[in-house]
Amino acid sequence: MLQLNYIKENKQATIDSLKRKYFKNAEETIETVLGIDQKRRETQSELDTTLARANALAKEIGGLMKAGKKDEAEAAKAETAELKVKSKALEEDLKASESELYDVMVTIPNLPHVSVPEGRTPEENVNVFQAGEIPELHEAALPHWELIKQYDIIDFDLGNKITGAGFPVYKGKGARIQRAMINFFLDEALAAGYFEIQPPILINKDSGFGTGQLPDKEGQMYHSTVDDLYLIPTAEVPVTNIYRDVILSDNDLPIKNVAYTPCFRREAGSWGAHVRGLNRLHQFDKIEIVQIRKPEESYQALDEMVEHVKSLLEKLELPYRILRLCGGDMGFTSALTYDFEVYSAAQKRWLEVSSVSNFESYQANRLKLRYKVDGKTQLLHTLNGSALALPRILASILENFQTPEGIKIPKVLVPYCGFEMI
């Protein structure tokens, strides 16, 4: 959530930034915020004046009674009673204004960083880095959804029988390579100084709100209505919420956490060839890295996280590129996002496998996540990234490493899965 003082002090800059993110009715919304805030401050001022007058009269009444000025004392009592009624009404008005202001503020997305490119669609994202050679496959090469049938390593029909579409069953070497990637990604994160967390995969509304999934992405989350809990779309949510309503000290920082979890996304409305096979699932495994940093350190931390994800893809020997997302393609809570895509040789297209983002103080403001500096509390910055999401990485491995004899396993994964070929 944006900070109200920033909006008040930087009205036009806020509107211009929101327009770069293609937020509808930016001017109208900011004017609404400032109007409600003005009304709130006027009500607060009137309430303070009313309470001060009531307190002054209360002190006078005793003196008037002692001085025998009964009529004046009774008049003061009558006025005090009226002031109490008035103050109660003002308190209700103030509460209503604060609630109205809050309801509008939570609908406003984060402001984009100055380096965010102009643009509205994914085609306008900027390619900032590319590495690796795109493999030339043999003539009989197949997309991964055919390979998994040929080698009987993932069963979509069985998953559909058990649960429904988008919930695959991994079998044999398919299951083992999943486990291998999870352990490899976790070990790499630990070597990079991250602290491992195993969080719950169900969250409450407060947690969903804290990181911005609620109310913005409620339709994309699986909701257990009986208990009013949500299945997590990413480990970012429970891990970041560990620090909700927490005031940290210098000794606690920086915080670097990593977590492996299954993730759940309804992906409502997804269909077509571009989401076939492992390209789009309702349940998938992912390793998430989360950092909490001082504001002046957060963009250095973002660069470090980008380098970490780069190292994973290079060790997997996959061709990849990094995109800096334009304003219109960024997430609701992000100030700057880099997307990583790997090239799928059989599908002949790029597949997104990671997003690494800096949310600056936006999530921290919703979470009330702060630290003390010079005796004062200040909001921290939060960052997270996929390191990595498994499905499209596996799809790319299966397709890019296929040979007429079978599918080779990237060398770095062989010690983890115990075989060199499927």
From residue 404, how far is each of 237, 316, 318, 393, 412 by CA, in Å? Answer: 43, 21, 19, 21, 22
For 255-412, list the strands marked E by DSSP.
Answer: 255-264, 283-293, 320-324, 336-344, 349-358, 370-373, 376-379, 381-389, 402-403, 406-407
The answer to whether the annotation marks 53 as part of a ligand binding site is no
Q: DSSP assignment, residue 137?
A: P
Per DSSP bridges, beta strands 154-155 and 402-403 are unpaired
- Structure tokens belonging to residue 256: 């670097």
The answer to whether the annotation marks 265 as part of a ligand binding site is yes
For 148-222, list the strands marked E by DSSP.
Answer: 154-155, 169-170, 195-197, 202-203
- DSSP run (H or E) holding 248: strand 247-248
Q: Which residues, at least 6 apart from 122, have a Cβ–Cβ distance to it below 8 Å? A: 329
Q: What is the crossing angle of helices 11-20 and 26-66, to 10°?
A: 140
From residue 43, how far is each of 7, 35, 54, 92, 105 by CA, in Å? Answer: 20, 12, 16, 10, 19
B/e letters for 86-105, b = 16+ CB within 10 Å, e = fewer, are bbeebeebbeebeeebeebb
Q: How many CA atoms lie within 13 A of 221 on its CB side?
A: 26
Q: DSSP assignment, residue 135?
A: P
Residue 33, classed as helix, strand or coil, is helix
Q: DSSP assignment, residue 267?
A: -
Task: Determine the residue type at 163.
Answer: T
- DSSP run (H or E) holding 11: helix 11-20
The answer to whether the annotation marks 179 as part of a ligand binding site is no
The answer to whether the annotation marks 234 as part of a ligand binding site is yes
The answer to whether the annotation marks 384 as part of a ligand binding site is yes
The answer to whether the annotation marks 352 as part of a ligand binding site is yes
The answer to whether the annotation marks 355 as part of a ligand binding site is yes
Helices (H), 283-413: 298-315, 362-367, 390-400
Alpha carbon distance 283, 371 (integer Å)? 36
Q: Which parts are annotated binding residues?
A: 234, 265-267, 288, 352-355, 384
Q: Which parts are annotated binding residues for L-serine?
A: 234, 265, 288, 384
Q: Which parts are annotated binding residues for ATP?
A: 265-267, 352-355
